[in-house]
Structures are given as C-alpha cells and as structure tokens.
Amino acid sequence: MKFINANTCPWKHAVGEDGPKPDPDPAPYRLLSLEQWHAVKDHWPAGIQVAIEFPNDADIQELAPDLHRIAMVVLDFPKWTDGRAYSQAHILRSRLKFKGAIRARGDVLVDMMQLLARTGFDEVVMRGDQSQAFAQKALDLFAPVGFYQGDVGETRPWFQRSAA
C-alpha cells in the first residue's frame, strides 16, 4: 500500500479562478472529476494519461472503454462506513482488468487497510489524523494466517489454496 500525501502528489486537479475548470486543457498529471472527463474525453490526446475521481454512486463499468487512457482511478469514501467503493475496486480489477493505480480518498482510516488492499486498492490518502505506522500494523495482522475467501490479489479461497 502506498501512503500518499495529497499536497506533494504530482496528480493535480484542473482548477481555475472560479473553481474546477469545466473543460480543462490536456496536460500530464491531470486529476479530473468524472464531469470533466465527460467533457474532454472525446478530444483528449491519446498519448496523455489521466487520473479520474469516480463517485461511489455511479456505475464503474462505464469506464471500461477508456481504461487504457486512465493511469489512476480515485475512489471515494464519503464516510468510512460507506462501502460501495470496495465493490467498485473489485469490479475494476477482477472484471475490467484495470492495471493502473486505484486510490482511496475521503474518510480513509487505518482500520480499512485490509479491506482496501484485498479489493484492489494500492494507494491511499488517509484522513489527516491517521497514523501510517498503525495502518501498516493493520495490514500485517492477518498476513501469517490469510483469509477464508479469495480476493483481488489471491483469488483462491482457503479451500482451494489448502487443496493445491
């Protein structure tokens, strides 16, 4: 899991003086909202990769035709107990075979690490008060044991692994 500091991260929002630009110019390291992406995707140059912030109440499968142009999908946790983005990440990885980065943002807490890692997230911007050391500890807790069901990384459930 990569722990990202939003301030030093190279991916930047396309913001003008009056807030988000409705139709941002193509440039590297653009972090676009889904609305911005809708506005630009038809004329966005093939060679410039983008990152997209995808809301947790839209159908992630809509990104399927564009995934080759997307370096990162940022999924949202408006509240940490709102678990929709876990399913979105799972679909991105397992079904849509997305190989870019999946980042969690919002109300992202230490105790979500295991769930995030197992559903396909590989980057997090944690809430400001969270400790990276605790997050790493949370990730390591079950490592010596493993889990019953398969996940995005280890697709085999325990009964398949132990039988192998």
Partner 1 sequence: MYQYTDFDRRFVHARAAQYRDQLERHLAGTLGTDEFRALRLQNGWYIQRHAPMLRVAVPYGELSTRQLRQLARIAREYDVVQDGPFKGQGGYGHFTTRQNLQYNWIPLDKSAEVMELLAEVDMHGIQTSGNCIRNITSDALVGIAPDEIVDARPYCEILRQWSTLHPEFAHLPRKFKIAVSGAAEDRAAIGWHDIGLQLKKDAAGEVGFQVFVGGGMGRTPIPGVEINAFVPWQQILVYIEAIVRCYNLAGRRDNLYKARIKILVKAEGQKFFDAVNEEYRRILADDNGGHEHIIPKAELDRVAACFVDPAGVAPVAEPVLDSSDPAFARWLQRNVDGHRVAGYRAVTLSLKRVGIAPGDTSADVMDTAAALADQFSHGELRVSHRQNLVLPWVKASDLPELFQAARAAGFATPNARLLTDQIACPGGDFCALANARSLPLAAEIAERYQDQDELEDLGDIDLHISGCINSCGHHHSGHIGILGVDKDGAEWYQLTLGGSDGTVLSGKTVAGKVIGPSFAADEIADAIDAVIETFKRERQAGERFVDAVRRLGLDPFKTAANAVRVSTAKAQA
Q: In the set 103, 114, 124, 125, which binds partner 1 (CB under 8 A)?
A: 114
Q: Quick one: CA dihedral 100, 106, 111, 112, positive or negative?
A: negative
Q: Is 46 in the site for partner 1 (CB under 8 A)?
A: no
Q: In the set 118, 122, 125, 126, which binds partner 1 (CB under 8 A)?
A: 118
- Closest separation in Å from C-beta 12 to partner 1: 30
- Closest separation in Å from C-beta 95 to partner 1: 5
Binding mask 84-103 for partner 1 (x = CB under 8 A): x-xxx-x--xxx-x------
CB 69 within 8 A of CB 49: yes
Smallest CA-to-CA distance from 68 within 26, 104, 30, 97 is with 97
